[in-house]
């Protein structure tokens, strides 16, 4: 996901103008998720028996609203299918080899894809937006026909109707798929006529609930919390703080009924701390001192601050949070930065600022401020269970459900600090669908939940209605939640063996022969590669780093022990989440460079007795729209018992916590001899604006390299002294997996 997310984000689903929270021409809908903050992530041909998949094209005779175009396109499709069928029958009897038929079969596929396009598709696409604050960051378009429900049956419905699918959002101004993916989502979309909305009940999983919510706001004035210090804020408002709300204005819409009274329910997804998602974390605090130019250094007014200069607690006041344990014995000064030998960095203030904007390592007489960074590492306490950590965090939170901030509009946190001047807490009241409507009651939420737009008894005017909460960004629209009775725990194993033909980015240690006339080296560019595995529902892990090769062989198993997935296992079996593989070039200095991304669907095992072994396959590595190599990988997702008794035994270890690909999945290899006939070189182009006079040939295959003899003078003798190159490599026995040199 986005690395620097900043403000809280939410997702919006819209079709046409409906669901667009910034559009005032339609009634507000429950089309957005609640606000939340991003959390750091600790990062062959198969022969099988095919069933009969023939389906008759729907008849148009006697159907209402049939146009001439409908009739003509049905004739076109029927004629094309008949021609393809006749050609296939003729091919089976005349063509002896399969390879010679591939080109024609691919033409048939292209023709079928063209016939599937609907020329009259007037329904707008479904748009999913990721929104930060009031700015749209990324989006995805889903054609409506892919999720459209049909009463004619499953074959007439869209292929993703009521099914969970994985989608990737992209940036709005991006014409092509860039290397960066803003976010990956798992979504389940159902689109149907309002007349058949109750059919949605058969697709719905879990229990749908709706919460009416509002926030109680207070400010600190003269040492006491109250509402008198709220400048530009209401006593009760929505999550943005801009819209005034009252309890009596919340009324359940048709098909819904109240379930319980108003309760305080803190929104924990907005209160994530910096260590969320980490297993190791470094706490930091800055010690500050000030002086007059040329004077002695003394503690500053705010002795301890954060990196931005805001007041922070002293190291002695900072305690280890529940579920963590200190890794360092004490706080130490960080000298691994642009600082002097004692860890200080220096700066000056320029009015009207009261703190420096930049810092340097060398002290000067005119410097008036200095600071140094104190750090202390901590790590997750793996001996504590998740439930015990959650209980400890619940005790760590405010008992009355308040969230605190230093100023209005700043990020909220759990524990009250001395610098806090604003607090709020969330009140919620639950609504549940009536028994007669079921899950389909969510379609009755249009325009639900009003807001107070009157001020001190004044009547509503047309001008004020324009600023009603029902027209201002849809901020008061109800949030629909889907609750599941239980969560299923899965075990994921990813097997990565090798990558091939990766894109070269860096100059590493390999150097080719030198051009003796111009003294220009011909350099081979080879990356030091590692792969990152990720699942949208879990997190990510990395392989070891393989240095200086375009065809790295990892032979490694990546294990995700416990992954919590909501939803029925049969649904996961039909539409499993994608496993994302990202390859990087490891750099000693600076950031790792992105090589490409690949993805595969894991083999789902709901029963430990399933005698199916995942098979390694080559998957393309994509960098934007460009293919940058292939990776040999597979994965299996196993429904885990509580005690883990149904899991396969761990593979052999090549090093501590480095598991190899197990036997049965590991490809069978054999020693193979390769003979290359290399006569010579012709028509060599200039290299770095200089002619090439003494080249040689390097052949690499399967991690082995062989180099020819250097041609001393290309103009006089363009042929190699010896024309035969010989190498022994270990190649796969399966011809489909054989590595390409």
Predicted confidence (pLDDT) per residue in 540-557, tens digit: 788 888 887 778 888 899
Count CA atoms closer than 13 A to 426's CA, side-chain side: 20
**pLDDT at res. 70:** 77
d(CA 164, CA 601): 13
Is there a domain that residue 62 lies in?
no
Helix count and strand count (H, E) for the chain? 5, 36
How far the first Cα of the chain sits from its last, in Å, is: 35
**pLDDT at res. 366:** 92
Distances (CA, A) of 95 to 101, 104, 298, 471: 7, 12, 91, 67
User: Exposed e or buried b for every residue in 28-42, given b needs 16+ CB within 10 A?
Assistant: bbbbbbbbbbbbeee
**pLDDT at res. 505:** 60
Short-list 446, 436, 342, 35, CA closest to 215: 35
d(CA 52, CA 553): 41
CA atoms 549, 550, 553, 554: torsion sign: positive
Q: Do 158 and 25 fall within a single domain? A: yes
Q: State the chain's mean pLDDT as an integer.
A: 78
**pLDDT at res. 457:** 45
Task: Confirm if 210 and 477 have CB atoms less than 8 A apart.
Answer: no
**pLDDT-based confidence at 635, cuts 50/70/90?**
very high
22: left (phi over 0), alpha (psi -120 to 50) or beta: alpha
Query: 168: which residues sit within 8 A by CB, 6+ positions away?
Result: 140, 181, 183, 184, 185
Is the pLDDT at 272 greater than 80, yes or no? no
Bridge partner residues of 234 (DSSP): none
**pLDDT-based confidence at 183, cuts 50/70/90?**
confident
Q: Do 479 and 491 fall within a single domain? A: no
380 three-state secondary structure: strand
Q: What is the CATH number of the domain that holds 577?
A: 2.60.40.150
Strand 332-333, strand 369-380: pairing: antiparallel
Domain boundary among 330, 364, 394: 394
Q: Do 376 and 427 fall within a single domain? A: no
Identify the DSSP state of 222: T
**pLDDT at res. 660:** 92
Is the pLDDT at 4 greater than 70, yes or no? no
**pLDDT-based confidence at 297, cuts 50/70/90?**
very high
Is there a domain that residue 49 lies in?
no
- Which of 51-55, 407-411, 516-520, 656-660 holds the top average pLDDT? 656-660
Structure-token pair, residue 185? 């989502």
Return the residue matching tokens 């089309």: 31
d(CA 678, CA 724): 6
Q: Do 661 and 690 fall within a single domain? A: no
Q: Do 494 and 575 fall within a single domain? A: yes
Is the pLDDT at 99 greater than 80, yes or no? no
Query: Comparing 441 with 367, which gets the higher pLDDT?
Result: 367
Peptide bond into 352 cis (omega under 30): yes
Short-list 192, 201, 195, 196, CA closest to 438: 201
Is there a domain that residue 31 lies in?
yes
Strand 164-168, strand 184-188: pairing: antiparallel
Q: Summarize pLDDT for 27-39 with one digit per residue, the tens.
A: 667 777 777 766 5
DSSP code string of 160-200? TBT-EEEEE-B-TT-SS--S----EEEEEB-B--GGGGGGG
Return the residue matching tokens 């509009």: 409
Q: Summarize pLDDT for 575-631 with one digit per residue, the tens.
A: 888 888 888 887 766 677 888 889 889 999 998 777 888 999 999 998 888 888 889
Q: Do 581 and 495 fall within a single domain? A: yes
**Could you tell me the pTM of the whole model?**
0.67
Is the pLDDT at 571 greater than 90, yes or no? no
**pLDDT at res. 343:** 93
Count CA atoms closer than 13 A to 253's CA, side-chain side: 20
**pLDDT at res. 560:** 86
CB atoms within 10 A of CB 330: 8
What's the average model confidence in pLDDT over 94-109? 81
What's the average model confidence in pLDDT over 305-331? 86
d(CA 424, CA 416): 12
Is there a domain that residue 63 lies in?
no
Q: Do 464 and 495 fall within a single domain? A: no
Q: Do 555 and 452 fall within a single domain? A: no
Is there a domain that residue 51 lies in?
no
At residue 230, what are phi and psi to the nearest 5 degrees? -80, 105
Task: Confirm if 612 and 605 have CB atoms less than 8 A apart.
Answer: yes
Least confident of 262-266, 394-398, 691-695: 394-398
d(CA 141, CA 179): 18
Domain boundary among 483, 510, 529: 483
Is there a domain that residue 53 lies in?
no
d(CA 113, CA 116): 5
The distance of Cα 534 from the centroid of its chain, to the nearest Å, equals 8
Three-state SS annotation for 714-726: CCCCCECCCCEEE
d(CA 402, CA 111): 62
Short-list 221, 133, 131, CA closest to 169: 131
CB atoms within 10 A of CB 351: 5
In the chain, the number of structural domains is 6
Q: What is the largest CA-CA distance in the chain?
A: 101
Q: Do 518 and 647 fall within a single domain? A: yes
Count CA atoms closer than 13 A to 678's CA, side-chain side: 24
Q: Summarize pLDDT for 191-228 with one digit per residue, the tens.
A: 888 888 778 877 777 777 778 888 999 999 888 999 88
Query: 216: which residues sit within 8 A by CB, 6+ positions away?
Result: 235, 236, 424, 425, 426, 427
Is the pLDDT at 467 greater than 60, yes or no? no
Is there a domain that residue 261 lies in?
yes
Identify the DSSP state of 196: G
What's the average model confidence in pLDDT over 140-160? 86
Structure-token pair, residue 311? 């007041």
Helices (H), 275-417: 386-396
Is the pLDDT at 51 greater than 50, yes or no? no
DSSP code string of 79-148? HHHHHHHHHHHHHHHH---SGGGHHHHHHHHHHHHHHHS-TT--SPPEEEEEEETTEEEEEEEE-GGGSB
Q: Do 431 and 454 fall within a single domain? A: yes
Is the pLDDT at 58 greater than 70, yes or no? no
Q: Summarize pLDDT for 229-249 with one digit per residue, the tens.
A: 887 788 998 887 888 888 887
Q: Do 496 and 565 fall within a single domain? A: yes
Q: Residue 291, exposed/middle/buried by CB under 10 A (0-12, 13-18, 19+)? A: middle
d(CA 627, CA 625): 7
Its domain, for residue 126, covers 9-43+122-192
CA atoms 627, 633, 638, 644: torsion sign: negative
Query: Comparing 697 with 472, which gets the higher pLDDT?
Result: 697
Is there a domain that residue 740 lies in?
no
What's the average model confidence in pLDDT over 60-87? 80
Short-list 275, 282, 279, CA closest to 380: 279
Strand 603-605, strand 626-639: pairing: parallel
Query: 627: which residues sit within 8 A by CB, 6+ positions away?
Result: 620, 621
d(CA 255, CA 262): 20
**pLDDT at res. 381:** 77
Least confident of 185-194, 326-335, 434-443, 661-670: 434-443
Task: Confirm if 186 and 166 have CB atoms less than 8 A apart.
Answer: yes
Structure-token pair, residue 577? 């989440």
What's the average model confidence in pLDDT over 160-165? 86
Least confident of 192-196, 296-300, 534-538: 534-538
Give percent above pLDDT 70 in the chain. 78
Domain boundary among 666, 693, 717: 666
Q: Do 420 and 522 fall within a single domain? A: no
């Amino acid at each position: 996901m986005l690395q620097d997310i900043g403000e809280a984000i939410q997702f919006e689903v819209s079709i046409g103008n409906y669901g667009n929270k910034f559009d005032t021409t339609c009634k507000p809908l429950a089309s957005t998720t609640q606000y939340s903050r991003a959390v750091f992530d600790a990062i062959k041909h198969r022969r099988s028996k095919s069933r009969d998949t023939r389906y008759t094209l729907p008849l148009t005779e006697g159907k209402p609203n049939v146009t001439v175009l409908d009739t003509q396109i049905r004739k076109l499709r029927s004629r094309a299918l008949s021609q393809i069928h006749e050609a296939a029958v003729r091919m089976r009897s005349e063509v002896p080899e399969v390879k010679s038929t591939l080109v024609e079969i691919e033409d048939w596929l292209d023709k079928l894809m063209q016939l599937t396009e609907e020329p009259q598709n007037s329904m707008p696409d479904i748009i999913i937006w990721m929104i930060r604050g009031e700015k749209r960051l990324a989006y995805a378009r889903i054609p409506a026909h892919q999720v459209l429900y049909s009463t004619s049956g499953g074959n007439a419905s869209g292929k993703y109707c009521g099914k969970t699918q994985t989608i990737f959002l992209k940036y709005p101004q991006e014409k092509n798929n860039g290397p960066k993916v803003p976010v990956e989502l798992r979504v389940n979309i159902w689109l149907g006529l309002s007349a058949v909305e109750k059919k949605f009940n058969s697709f719905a999983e879990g229990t749908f609930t709706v919460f009416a919510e509002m926030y109680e706001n207070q400010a600190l004035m003269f040492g006491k919390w109250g509402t008198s210090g709220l400048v530009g804020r209401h006593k009760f408002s929505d999550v943005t703080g801009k819209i005034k709300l009252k309890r009596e204005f919340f009324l359940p819409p048709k098909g819904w009924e109240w379930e319980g009274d108003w309760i305080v329910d803190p929104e924990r997804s907005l209160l994530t701390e910096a260590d969320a998602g980490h297993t190791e974390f470094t706490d930091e605090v800055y010690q500050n001192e000030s002086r007059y130019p040329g004077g002695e250094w003394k503690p500053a007014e705010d002795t301890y601050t954060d990196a931005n200069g805001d007041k922070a607690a002293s190291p002695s006041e900072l305690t280890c949070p529940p579920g963590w344990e200190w890794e360092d014995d004490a706080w130490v000064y960080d000298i691994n930065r642009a600082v002097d030998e004692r860890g200080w960095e220096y700066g000056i203030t320029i009015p009207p600022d009261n703190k420096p904007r930049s810092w340097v390592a060398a002290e000067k007489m005119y410097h008036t401020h200095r600071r140094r960074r104190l750090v202390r590492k901590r790590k997750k306490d793996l001996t504590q269970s998740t439930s015990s950590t959650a209980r400890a965090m619940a005790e760590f939170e405010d008992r009355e459900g308040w969230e605190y901030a230093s100023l209005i509009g700043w990020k909220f946190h759990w524990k009250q600090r001395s610098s806090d001047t604003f607090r709020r807490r969330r009140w919620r009241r639950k609504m549940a669908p009536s028994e007669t409507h079921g899950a389909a009651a969510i379609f009755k939420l249009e325009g639900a939940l009003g807001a107070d737009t009157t001020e001190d008894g004044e009547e509503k005017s047309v001008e004020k209605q324009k600023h009603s909460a029902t027209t201002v960004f849809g901020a008061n629209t109800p949030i629909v939640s889907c609750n599941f009775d239980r969560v299923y725990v899965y075990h994921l194993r990813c097997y990565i063996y090798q990558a091939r033909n990766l894109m070269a980015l860096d100059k590493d240690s390999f150097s080719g022969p030198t051009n003796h006339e111009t003294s220009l080296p011909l350099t081979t560019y080879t990356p030091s590669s590692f792969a990152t595995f990720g699942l949208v529902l879990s997190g990510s892990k990395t392989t070891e780093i393989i240095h200086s090769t375009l065809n790295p062989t990892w032979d490694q198993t990546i294990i995700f022990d416990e992954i919590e997935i909501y939803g029925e296992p049969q649904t996961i079996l039909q539409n499993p989440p994608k496993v994302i593989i990202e390859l990087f070039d490891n750099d000693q200095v600076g950031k790792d460079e992105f090589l490409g991304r690949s993805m595969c669907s894991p083999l789902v095992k709901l029963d430990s007795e399933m005698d199916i072994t995942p098979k390694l396959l080559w998957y393309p590595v994509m960098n934007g729209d460009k293919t940058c190599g292939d990776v040999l990988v597979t994965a299996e997702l196993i429904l885990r018992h509580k005690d883990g008794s149904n899991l396969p035994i761990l593979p052999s270890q090549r090093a501590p916590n480095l598991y190899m690909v197990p036997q049965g999945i590991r490809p069978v290899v054999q020693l193979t001899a390769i003979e290359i006939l290399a006569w010579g070189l012709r028509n060599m182009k200039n290299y770095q604006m200089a002619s090439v006079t003494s080249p040689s040939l390097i052949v690499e295959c399967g991690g082995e390299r062989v180099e020819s003899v250097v041609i001393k003078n290309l103009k006089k003798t363009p042929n190699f002294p010896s024309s035969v190159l010989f190498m022994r490599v270990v190649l796969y026995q399966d011809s489909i997996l054989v590595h390409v040199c």
